[in-house]
Amino acid sequence: MDQDSQIVTEHTSLLHHGNHNPSNRLQTGYDEEAQSVISSGITKDELQMAGSIVGERLPYNDYTTIDWLHDLVKDSYRSRTLISHRNLCNRLLSKLEASSGWLAVILIGSLTACVAFIVDIGVATVSDWKIGYCTRNPLLSREACCRSKAPLVPIQSEIGGESNGGFRTWSDRYGSKFAVYVLFALAFGTISSSATMLTKRSLSAASPSPSSSKNHANNTLSPEETRQEEPLPSIAGKTMYMAAGSGIPEIKTILSGFVIPNFLSPTVLLVKAFGAVFAVSTGMWLGKEGPFVHISTCIGSIVGQWFPKYCDNGRKMRELLSAACAAGLSVAFGAPIGGVLFSYEEISTYFPRKVLWRAFLCSLSAAIILKTLNPTGTGKLVLFETNYGTSYSAIHYLAFILLGVAGGIFGGIFCAANFLWSRWFRSFSLIKNNPVLEVLLVVLVTAIVQFPNPLTREPGDTIIKNLLVDCQDEASLASSYVCAHESKFRSGTDGGGTDWGYIGMLTHGTLTKLGLTIITFGIKVPSGVIIPSLDAGAFFGRLVGQLHFLRSCISPGIFAMVGSAAFLAGVSRMTISLCVIMFELTGSLEGIRFGTNRAWAPFFG
């Protein structure tokens, strides 16, 4: 039997014993390599890559991954080309090339802050239209109208009050207020979902060719079969709404090297910002903080197109997008350090050291510009400033541990229930084919359930601010709805010091948040799950803080803060970045200062 036709087993020699001439072996190797190349099916992309020169940009196909190694070679070649020529023009270009990354992240942070300013002002104003309007300026929110605060102007002193601002409700009757509230919510939901429909994309899917199963079994394909193979026919695929949801899962996919066309386009940016304003204003259990990450990434992609260093290189572009993600969370919570850690821990898969510093600069630029624009009118970057200033005992730490366990249980229930609800409810053809109808149903249910409770009627960030309040402050005691009820506990003027109506409101808020967040997350509007998770945790934490042996020592707002962090950790699975975000979100930076002092003290004796 011929040697080439022998059956190969584990005892077969790796080398032929017949011909040991080096020249023959070399020629045989060339022939085998050539035959291997000829007999293999080469795609058009591979042929184009083989014929390209170093530094030439090859456009990537949609829904494919980038070539990280090829982009690295292109970047190295570009740098060597600029350095190799010693004339003045190339030296200036080399300096500009080196500084373009820093200029880009500063520009991204500044533009992100400007968009966040517009969205924050829009949400504060439009959401209050469900309740009433400002008589002296309908474009002012209730807080700005009542306290004579305006954006772009830092407030020097709190003048006036709720009665001096000129904010007028639509009606004094409960039924009329409820009807107007529901109608405005439905109108805002229609606007937001209709805008989201503009970003609808039908994803095509490829069905396997008739010969694919046979070729897959044989694992061989002759050149004639490769040339005669018909192109894969397209069949109907899934539908994607580019502006729906938070966009964070898709951004993670893009940063890992995948190409999703039009997901970071200017159209998606405008629809995302516009839709987020009206989606949050409906009163549904969703937030604008998740969409801010998508918005900042869109800005990063747009700015990256202005710099040749990034627009022609998918690897470098993803470095810029990682820095842009940090700016998105920075403007969402006023947490520049937390934004960097969020991008590093949760978003990015490729995060070299230089991206860390650029992400910090981008995040810091966004925070500084947003503080200068002053959308809240307070002149402060901290959203929910707290200053409890108390010490804790062992029983308090035990309560904190129980809140952490409850947050994990909430996160597990939410993830499982949301998956089951989406699979069941969206299986109906009426809901599946009419996403706007689903949004309107959720808006209607949300308005009916939350309006009777004054604590759940407010926007999500206002709810957190109300639940984190420290009632030991005299100013808060006079103006806060929460403190007005909790003061009965201390005075004992209501049934021995227990306001069961207030306890019922906190219980209703906790259960309502859990149920409505489950059915809301996933609808076709720009939305995030961060604020609803914080709200649910704040409700539950404030409820736990009403226990007599806990509230007699420290403020219940502390338990609300711990509960909000625990519930968000259970849903998002964030760890280190969440701790820093909560420090910056509440202005409780004593822990950071203490840790920094302890870390640097040994180096200075």
For residue 378, pLDDT over 80 is answered with no
Question: How do strand 239-241 and strand 200-202 relate by DSSP bridges?
Answer: antiparallel
Same-domain pairing of 356 and 414: no
Looking at residue 446, its pLDDT comes to: 93
362 with 399, same domain: the answer is no
- Choice between 42 and 107, residue whose per-residue pLDDT is larger: 107
- Domain range enclosing 410: 394-604
Q: Is the pLDDT score of 356 beyond 70?
A: yes
Question: Is the C-alpha dihedral spanning 370, 572, 523, 320 positive or negative?
Answer: positive
Domain contains 72? no
pLDDT at residue number 38: 42
Q: Do residues 119 and 288 touch, judged by C-beta distance below 8 A?
A: yes
SS3 133: strand
Identify whether 386 is part of a domain: no
190 in Cβ contact with 436 (< 8 Å): yes
User: Does 215 map to a domain?
Assistant: no
- Min mean pLDDT across 65-69, 337-341, 559-563 is at 65-69
* Total-model pTM: 0.79
Same domain, 266 and 400: no
- Is the pLDDT assigned to residue 76 strictly greater than 60? yes
User: Under DSSP, is residue 86 helix (H, G, I), strand (E, B) or coil?
Assistant: coil
**Mean pLDDT, the chain, as a whole number?**
77
Count Cα neighbours of 601 within 13 Å in the Cβ-side half-sphere.
6
Write the pLDDT tens digit of every residue in 140-174.
888 877 765 455 444 433 333 344 457 888 888 88
Q: Residue 54: its pLDDT value, please?
A: 45
Residue 30 belongs to some domain of the structure: no
* 8 A C-beta contact, residue 556 and residue 550: yes
* Helices vs strands, H then E, count in the chain: 27, 6
**Is residue 254 domain-shared with residue 190, that is, in the same domain?**
yes
* Residue 556, domain member (yes or no): yes
Given 373, 404, 428, which residue is the final one in a domain?
373
In order of 94, 187, 283, 448, 527, the CA distances from 183 in angstroms are 59, 6, 12, 11, 21
Cα distances (angstroms) measured from residue 474 to each of 57, 466, 470, 537, 551: 65, 15, 9, 26, 17
pLDDT, residue 201, reads 86
For the chain, percent of residues with pLDDT exceeding 70: 72
pLDDT value at residue 473: 65
Question: CA 92 to CA 220: how far, in whole Å?
Answer: 54
- Structure confidence at residue 61 as a pLDDT band (50, 70, 90): low
- Interatomic CA distance for residues 553 and 535, integer angstroms: 24
In angstroms, the first-to-last Cα distance of the chain is: 84
Same-domain pairing of 449 and 527: yes
C-alpha span between 379 and 151 (Å, rounded): 9
Give 184's pLDDT tier (boundaries 50, 70, 90). Answer: very high
Q: What is the pLDDT of residue 379?
A: 73
Beta partners for 133?
168
- In this predicted model, what pLDDT tens digit does every residue of 507-541 receive, in sequence order? 998 999 889 999 998 899 998 888 899 999 999 99
Tens digit of pLDDT for each residue in 230-261? 555 555 567 889 999 888 989 999 998 888 88
Place of tokens 């938070």: 246
State residue 70's pLDDT score: 78
Q: Which two tokens stand for residue 196?
A: 């989201």
CATH number of the structural domain spanning residue 421: 1.10.3080.10
Q: From 338, 373, 408, give the residue that closes a domain.
A: 373
Q: What tokens does 93 get?
A: 């270009």
**Dist CA 434 CA 153 (whole Å):** 44
Lowest mean pLDDT among 6-15, 263-272, 396-405, 558-567: 6-15
Both 333 and 457 in one domain: the answer is: no
- In contact, 188 and 278? CB cutoff 8 Å: yes
pLDDT of residue 114: 94
Final residue before a domain boundary, out of 315, 343, 373 = 373
- The count of structural domains within the chain is 2
- Same-domain pairing of 361 and 435: no
Residue 380 resides in a domain = no
The answer to whether 270 and 119 are in contact (CB under 8 A) is: no
Same domain, 352 and 436: no
Q: Which residue has the higher pLDDT, 189 or 67?
A: 189
The reply to whether 398 and 345 lie within a common domain is no
Same domain, 438 and 566: yes
Q: Residue 156's CB: how many other CB atoms inside 10 A?
A: 7
Q: What is the pLDDT averaged over residues 330-350?
A: 87
Indicate if 436 and 526 belong to the same structural domain: yes
Is residue 389 within 8 Å of residue 588, measured between CB atoms? no
Closest alpha carbon to 121 in 139, 105, 137, 136: 139
461-516 pLDDT, tens digit each:
888 888 888 877 666 666 677 777 777 665 554 445 567 788 888 899 899 988 99
Residues 305 and 402 in one domain: no
Of residues 535 and 10, more confidently modeled: 535
Q: Is residue 235 part of a domain?
A: no
